[in-house]
Amino acid sequence: MGKVETPNQQVFPDPDLPSTIYRMSKNPTIRELILDTEQRFKRAKLHYGHGTETALDDAAFLVLRALALPPGTDGAELDRPVPPADAARVEALALRRIRERIPTAYLLSEAWFAGLPFHVDPRVLIPRSPFAELIDERFSPWVDETGVRRILDVGTGSGCMAVACALAFPEAAVDAIDISAGALEVARGNIERHGVADRVQCIRSDVFNALGGRRYDLIVANPPYVGAAEYAALPPEYGHEPRSGLESGADGLDVVRRLLRGAAAHLEPDGVLIAEVGGSAPVLEQAFPDAPFVWVELERGGDGLFVLSREDLAAAFGAVGGND
């Protein structure tokens, strides 16, 4: 949306009222709808971070996808008039975004990850992980892609990471695990949608407890890592997501601890664990000061991703049984 410029003079309505765009034009353009929606979102003081970062990003995503246009639509296409029925559909979605603070991805039942569209609903978190950058790079330099034959995605949610990994490693089999039956139902739909059902298997498992002796060359995980106090202070948008996908005990590390203590038993000798803990990275380092976490620097933004080899995991946390 870099080419969309806000007009110098325009009066926008109160965010909770129907848009004045309909009084300005019977057939507003796509650009007008985006800019009008952006200003209303700003006035409503919405929170972003569920796949979009600004009011303009959020408005553009809502308008374009409501009109069945690609997220990157720009240029002259934005000056095309919008039929009244389509404009009314955009208006209805915008009002729900403002009044109910529902993240746009849920309103559209769609989120994008690693350049791919995924169905999402309140059974799963909305994909927004910086993991996409690492998957695009096939986890270089942390992983030798030629040796990756089995991948485990812990807490798969929508299945976005499992699908993206399967596409990045076309010779690999992927196990996608989650404790939530509802999440796995969503994941299966996305796995089918992207044509990787022959290589991606969904397993209901509480961390590693249903995996028996399975071992992997690569374990990826985006576990819940929000502490109880932090969760209570989150903006209303987060209340639409499954709480179990966000909060994990008083300090946010309940699931992360189980992940660290059980991962070595499920990795091949040269295997690695790559996990995201976001803003809880300092808490994790304080909890395990002797663990040799390697923190990944990302070019596209985001932080809190660490890498640990099987050897380092076994030394720091012990090669405990495989059902933790």
SS3 254: helix
Domain ranges of the chain: 21-108, 120-317
Pairing of strands 294-295, 305-309: antiparallel
pLDDT at 19: 55
How far apart are alpha carbons 148 and 255 in whole angstroms? 25
Tokens of 247: 């909060």
pLDDT in tens, 241-252: 999 999 999 999
Radius of gyration of the chain (CA): 21
Spans of the chain below 70 pLDDT: 1-26, 319-324
Q: Contact 150/172 with Cβ under 8 angstroms?
A: yes
pLDDT at 149: 97
pLDDT in tens, 115-158: 999 999 999 999 998 999 999 999 999 999 999 999 999 999 99
Q: Contact 176/186 with Cβ under 8 angstroms?
A: no
Nearest to 100, CA basis, from 37, 16, 34, 35: 16
Q: In terms of CATH, what superfamily is 120-317?
A: Vaccinia Virus protein VP39 (3.40.50.150)
Cβ neighbour number for residue 279 with a 10 Å cutoff: 13
Q: 119's torsion region: left (phi>0), alpha (psi -120 to 50) or beta?
A: beta
Q: Contact 92/22 with Cβ under 8 angstroms?
A: no
Give the DSSP letter of residue 129.
Answer: -
Q: Which residues contact 161 (CB under 8 A, 6 or more apart)?
A: 113, 127, 129, 131, 135, 153, 220, 222
Tokens of 77: 């296409």
pTM for the model = 0.89
DSSP 104-115: HHHHHT-EEETT
Q: Partners of 235 in the beta sheet? A: none
How far apart are alpha carbons 131 and 139 in whole angstroms? 9
How far apart are alpha carbons 320 and 169 in whole angstroms? 29
Nearest to 222, CA basis, from 138, 266, 160, 156: 156
Q: Which residues contact 68 (CB under 8 A, 6 or more apart)?
A: none
Distances (CA, A) of 305 to 37, 227, 245: 34, 17, 17
Q: Partners of 204 in the beta sheet? A: 178
pLDDT at 9: 28
Q: Contact 124/157 with Cβ under 8 angstroms?
A: yes
Cβ neighbour number for residue 299 with a 10 Å cutoff: 8
Q: Partners of 68 in the beta sheet? A: none
Pairing of strands 150-154, 216-221: parallel
Q: Contact 7/35 with Cβ under 8 angstroms?
A: yes
Give the DSSP letter of residue 29.
Answer: B
Cβ neighbour number for residue 5 with a 10 Å cutoff: 8
SS3 170: coil
